[in-house]
Amino acid sequence: MTLPTPGPITDSTTAHPELAGSVESDRENEALLQYVQRSVNEDEDFAFMRFESLQRTNIVALQVKLVRLKGQLRMENIVSDSTLEDLRQTLEHYGQSLPSRNNLISAH
């Protein structure tokens, strides 16, 4: 599965270099959509990529952050609203990152 690569950035962006990234991103997105449409039209077999190591890295990083927050909360007498919000968001991300119970059961 090879995605087409966009061509070089045209001279119109050299006058406004801040637009170059946006134009390049737009071209990459357009190429991506063209590839997807072409693969659907051609009924191409689609293989899902596996990202277990990235998922584990993310989960471990969230666990480390939660351990640090737990230690911080134990040491403080007063907790700030921003710390509580950080805790809430981190727990939410952690919960979303974990495989669902149904996936774990069906995998065995």
Task: Locate the domains of the chain by residue range.
Answer: 1-47, 52-106
The residue type of 99 is P
Query: pLDDT, tens digit, for every residue of 24-37?
Result: 899 999 999 999 99
Per-residue model confidence as pLDDT tens digits over 66-101:
999 999 999 998 899 999 999 999 999 999 998 865
Evaluated on CA atoms 27, 33, 38, 43, the torsion sign reads positive
Structure tokens at 66: 């939660």
> DSSP string of 46-107?
------HHHHHHHHHHHHHHHHHHHHHHHH-SS--HHHHHHHHHHHHHHHHHSPPHHHHHHT
Mean pLDDT of the region 11-29 = 71
* Residues 7, 27 contacting (CB under 8 angstroms): yes
Q: How confident is the model at residue 10 (pLDDT cuts 50, 70, 90)?
A: very low
